[in-house]
Chain A
Amino acid sequence: EAQVTQNPRYLITVTGKKLTVTCSQNMNHEYMSWYRQDPGLGLRQIYYSMNVEVTDKGDVPEGYKVSRKEKRNFPLILESPSPNQTSLYFCASSLSHSSGETQYFGPGTRLLVL
């Protein structure tokens, strides 16, 4: 089944403890991105990647890192999480970076930083 998977789905952590949220797609998609969803704010893009080893900042990149060593994986790294990073995170992928391409979203990772 074609899908985007994220792990973990739920995570509670403490301020300053490094964590990684994994994202994997099995559709051979070139373009991948991370969004965060906050109540009343909709979704905002954190980082995106147009292909392997090509990543760039989205609208809200502060406090996050990403890497794209393989085409299928795009982990989101929080080196020193803070409570304002408590949010619902979505990974998405699309066949190419063309603007009209449909983005396919993962199921989400709900993060609570204490």
Chain B
Amino acid sequence: AQSVTQLDSQVPVFEEAPVELRCNYSSSVSVYLFWYVQYPNQGLQLLLKYLSGSTLVESINGFEAEFNKSQTSFHLRKPSVHISDTAEYFCAVRPARGGGADGLTFGKGTHLIIQP
């Protein structure tokens, strides 16, 4: 079984400041890692994912995450946040070889609050 821990339930940050949302996971098998974002009153959207290759992955809107196997982490970062980044962010994992039998395992979410 897998588990995901998002250490911060809320992260307040000023606009244009950098931010890091932390995610640690536990799994006995290799996993794929995902970050999803949920804007107010909307469904979840994929922000970025790590499957293999370079451990640093980037999204189109300036977020990046680095897979650290030794620390079992997949922290999300952005060098300068904008008001429009206010949302709930979910880290998730899925067994790399589980196929459909294993769904996404989500963390509890981190609410990113951008203050002007």
The residues of A with any CB-CB pair to B shorter than 8 Å are 4, 31, 33, 35, 40-45, 48, 50, 56, 58-59, 90, 92, 97-100, 102-108
Residue contact B100 to A42, C-beta cutoff 8 Å: no
A59 and B101 alpha carbons, distance in the complex (Å): 11
A50 to B102, CA, bound (A): 11
The 9 closest A-B pairs by CB, nearest first: A97-B100, A105-B43, A45-B103, A42-B106, A50-B100, A105-B44, A43-B106, A42-B108, A100-B51
Shortest B60–chain A CB gap in Å is 14
Question: From B90, which residue of chain A is reached at the shortest CB distance?
Answer: A42
Measured CB to CB, the nearest residue on chain B to A9 is: B41
- With contacts A90-B43, A105-B43 taken as known, whether A100 is within 8 angstroms of B49 at the C-beta atoms is yes
Give chain B interface residues in 1-60, CB to chain A under 8 Å: 4, 9, 32, 36, 41-46, 49, 51
Residues B46 and A102 in contact, CB atoms below 8 Å apart: yes
| In contact, A107 and B43 (Cβ under 8 angstroms) | yes
Known A42-B108, A42-B109, A43-B90; contact A100-B32, beta-carbon cutoff 8 A:
yes
Please count the residue pairs between chain A and chain B whose beta carbons lie under 8 angstroms apart in the complex: 63
Contacts A/B (CB < 8 Å), 13 sampled: A35-B103, A42-B90, A42-B107, A42-B109, A45-B103, A48-B103, A56-B101, A90-B43, A99-B102, A105-B43, A105-B44, A105-B45, A107-B42
From B41, B43, B90, B106, name the one whose CB has the most chain A CB atoms within 10 angstroms. Answer: B43
Once the chains bind, are A99 and B43 in contact (CB under 8 Å)?
no
> CB < 8 Å: which of A40, A41, A103, A107 contacts B104?
A103
Report yes or no: A48 in contact with B100, Cβ–Cβ below 8 A.
yes
Do residues B98 and A99 form an inter-chain contact, with CB atoms below 8 A? yes
A44 neighbours in B (Cβ, 8 Å)? 106
A6–B95 Cα gap in the complex (Å)?
27
A31 CA / B102 CA spacing, docked (Å)? 12
Could you tell me the distance between the alpha carbons of A31 and B104 in the complex, rounded to whole angstroms? 13
* Least CB distance, B91 to chain A, in whole angstroms: 9
Which residues of B have CB within 8 Å of A107? Answer: 41-43
The closest CB in chain A to the CB of B50 belongs to A100
User: A90 contacts B103, CB within 8 Å?
Assistant: no
Of all chain B residues, the one with the shortest Cβ separation from A91 is B43
